[in-house]
């Protein structure tokens, strides 16, 4: 269904009351609002409204069994959307909320199955962004919001990315500038013992284990496999993906050889740190710089923009440099592997499995 989309500029630190009021009116009426968070831009609707939740899936082209995250503005709302809230949930909420942490708990009857992908659990977080928090408060309801992009495409880190994907299918886009982290929140399931980290984000397992004890890290969290069932967003389906082929090299020692081999046959784009790009200058046709290898937060912030830049480049295939899987580096590699559709290069000969 084609709708008229408006784009309103909002101050990310001191959001204008009239802009927030306009956006909240859309939410309360069952409409869709794209808004900035500290992680990526979200596509929001009333979490209590099954028809509004269904509209999110239709707008994104998202599979209906892929659950949405419910965003709240204060800790009291946690008890409106979740039941059987354990003490450990309150402890880590005290430490990490507002912030890029999503926790999975048993849902209350107020949350319809359309919001949770049919699950009896709900993924909840309190975003650390003034626009997001004010929008939830002004709306008077929790807001269900996945990333504001077409399903499978790279998540949006600027309002212009949202416009590219969703103009004409959502009522309102709030342009609050660039996001801070650039990758989605960490998702941990507290209905299991030990807790399971399903999706790494700005917070790594080492951050959570300080408060939760041992946290299980399955292969799906590293992006090595797709899950058979989506217990949390980003588990079951190919995500974050550019349209062009992307190869992820697993060992830095193999990167040079992979790039040189491919460059002999086709136009190659190298997605890498500025240090690696300087070292391989003149070999790949396209260089897409992610930032300094000494700052993994910078790499993460630029990752999805780099995937979009690959699609706009003259090059036929992208090759991505690997990064250490610690802290936010685990999230970087998770997103890259899933974006590649598991086109993972462990040795040079693997290239021809994915590129003809």
Confidence tier at 64 by pLDDT (50, 70, 90)? confident
Residue whose entry in the numeric block shows the structure tokens 């039941």: 83
pLDDT tens readout for residues 237-284: 566 789 999 999 999 999 999 999 999 999 999 999 999 999 998 899
Tell me the binding residues.
39, 62, 66, 71, 121, 125, 145, 147, 155, 185, 199, 240
Q: Please give the backbone phi and psi of residue 284, each rounded to the nearest 5 degrees, phi first.
A: -75, 150
Six token digits for residue 185: 């929140």
Tell me the binding residues for ATP.
62, 66, 121, 147, 155, 199, 240
Report the pLDDT value the prediction gives residue 275, as an integer from 0 to 100.
97
Question: Does residue 175 contact residue 10 with C-beta atoms inside 8 Å?
Answer: yes
* Cα Rg of the chain, angstroms: 20
The separation between CA 247 and the C-alpha centre of its own chain, rounded to angstroms, equals 20
Tell me the binding residues for L-threonine.
39, 71, 125, 145, 185
CA dihedral 111, 190, 130, 303 (to 10 degrees): -110
% of the chain with per-residue pLDDT over 70: 96
Q: Residue 292's CB: how many other CB atoms inside 10 A?
A: 12
* CATH placement of domain 245-354: 3.40.50.11030
Q: Is 352 exposed, middle or buried (0-12, 13-18, 19+ CB in 10 A)?
A: exposed
Q: Do domains 6-222 and 245-354 have the same CATH topology?
A: no
What CA–CA distance (Å, rounded) separates 328 from 55? 32
Q: Which class would CATH give 6-222?
A: alpha beta
CA dihedral 108, 111, 117, 123 (to 10 degrees): -70
- Segment 290-297 long-range contacts (CB within 8 Å, at least 24 positions apart): 290/321, 293/323, 296/323, 296/324, 296/327, 296/328, 296/329, 296/332, 297/181, 297/202, 297/328
DSSP label at 123?
A: E
What CA–CA distance (Å, rounded) separates 85 from 162? 34
Q: What is the largest CA-CA distance in the chain?
A: 60
Confidence tier at 47 by pLDDT (50, 70, 90)? very high
pLDDT at 236 over 60: no
Q: How many CA atoms lie within 13 A of 305 on its CB side?
A: 19
Confidence tier at 114 by pLDDT (50, 70, 90)? very high
Select the more confidently predicted residue: 243 or 223.
Answer: 243
Report the pLDDT value the prediction gives residue 356, as an integer from 0 to 100.
74
Q: Which residues contact 113 (CB under 8 A, 6 or more apart)?
A: 50, 119
The DSSP secondary structure of 18-84, one letter per residue, reads HHHHHHHHHHHTT--EEEE-SSSEEEEEETT-HHHHHHHHHHHT--TTSPPEEE-SSGGGHHHHEES
For the chain, which residues make up each domain, given as ranges?
6-222, 245-354
pLDDT tens readout for residues 24-45: 999 999 999 999 999 999 999 9
């Amino acid at each position: 269904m084609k709708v008229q989309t408006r784009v309103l500029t909002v101050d990310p630190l001191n959001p204008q009351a009239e802009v927030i009021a306009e956006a909240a009116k859309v939410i309360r009426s069952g409409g869709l609002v794209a808004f900035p968070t500290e992680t990526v831009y979200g596509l929001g609707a009333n979490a209590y409204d099954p028809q509004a939740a269904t509209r999110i899936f239709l707008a994104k082209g998202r599979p209906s069994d892929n659950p949405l995250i419910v965003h709240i503005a204060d800790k009291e709302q946690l008890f409106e959307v979740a039941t059987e809230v354990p003490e450990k949930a309150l402890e880590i909420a005290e430490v990490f909320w507002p912030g890029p942490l999503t926790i999975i708990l048993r849902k209350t009857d107020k949350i319809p199955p359309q919001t949770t992908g049919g699950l009896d659990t709900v993924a909840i977080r309190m975003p650390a962004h003034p626009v997001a928090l004010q929008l939830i408060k002004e709306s008077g309801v929790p807001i269900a919001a996945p990333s504001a992009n077409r399903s499978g495409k790279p998540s949006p880190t600027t309002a212009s990315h949202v416009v590219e994907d969703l103009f004409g299918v959502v009522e309102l886009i709030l342009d609050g500038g660039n996001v801070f982290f650039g990758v989605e929140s960490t998702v941990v399931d507290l209905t299991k013992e030990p807790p399971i980290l399903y999706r790494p984000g700005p917070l790594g397992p080492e951050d959570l284990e300080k408060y939760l004890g041992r946290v299980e890290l399955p292969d799906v969290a590293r992006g090595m496999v797709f899950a058979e069932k989506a217990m949390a967003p980003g588990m079951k389906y190919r995500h974050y993906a550019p349209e062009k082929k992307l190869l992820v090299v697993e060992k830095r020692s193999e990167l040079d050889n992979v790039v040189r081999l491919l460059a002999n046959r086709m136009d190659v784009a190298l997605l890498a740190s500025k240090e690696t790009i300087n070292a391989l200058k003149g070999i790949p046709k396209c260089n897409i710089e992610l930032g300094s290898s000494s700052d993994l937060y910078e790499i993460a912030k630029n990752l999805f923009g780099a995937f979009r830049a690959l699609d706009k480049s003259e090059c036929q295939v992208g090759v991505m440099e690997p990064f250490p899987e610690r802290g936010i580096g685990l999230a970087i590699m998770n997103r890259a592997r899933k974006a590649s559709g598991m086109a993972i290069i462990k040795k040079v000969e693997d290239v021809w499995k994915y590129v003809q």
